[in-house]
Amino acid sequence: MKISELQAHIQSFDYAPEQSHHYFLKLIEEVGELSQAINQQKSGQPELAELKGSVAEELYDVLYYVCALANVHGVDLERTHELKEVLNKAKYNR
Ligand SMILES: [Mg+2]
């Protein structure tokens, strides 16, 4: 799945521009859960039975709210990636 497809998928059932601050708070909450999962060394690609609380799950949760925030702020993450690549190539001499 492409990032644009993930953004569109999330927007299809979770799009509330008036909830922008809520999405931001959820993102911070999920970053905290990701920190816990990393500290507990719950790395690797789990199957469904081991997904809860894993780094994989929390990374996805972070990505979910990044996409939700991008949607309510009218940001195309794929286009932004292209633009940032230009800036980063110059900044880091890649
Ligand atoms: Mg979570």
pLDDT at 88 over 90: yes
Supply the mean pLDDT for the chain: 97
* Residue labelled with tokens 């690549």: 85
Number of structural domains found in the chain: 1
Distance in Å, CA 73 to ligand 1 centroid: 22
User: Is the pLDDT assigned to residue 15 strictly greater than 90?
Assistant: yes
Spell out a b/e string for 27-63, using b for 16 or more CB atoms within 10 Å of the CB, else e. Answer: beebeebbeebeeeebeeeeeeeeeeebbbbbeebbb
Residue type, 93: N
Q: What is the pTM of this model?
A: 0.94
Q: How far is the CA of 33 from the centre of ligand 1 (A)?
A: 6
Q: What is the pLDDT of residues 46-76, one digit of tens each?
A: 999 999 999 999 999 999 999 999 999 999 9
Residue 94: what pLDDT?
85
CA of 28 to the centre of ligand 1 (A): 10
> What is the phi-psi region of residue 62: left when phi exceeds 0, alpha when psi lies from -120 to 50, beta otherwise?
alpha
Write the CATH number for 67.
Answer: 1.10.287.1080
14: left (phi over 0), alpha (psi -120 to 50) or beta: beta
CA of 72 relative to ligand 1 center, distance in Å: 20
Domain range for 63: 3-92
Q: Is the model's pLDDT at 4 over the cut of 90? A: yes
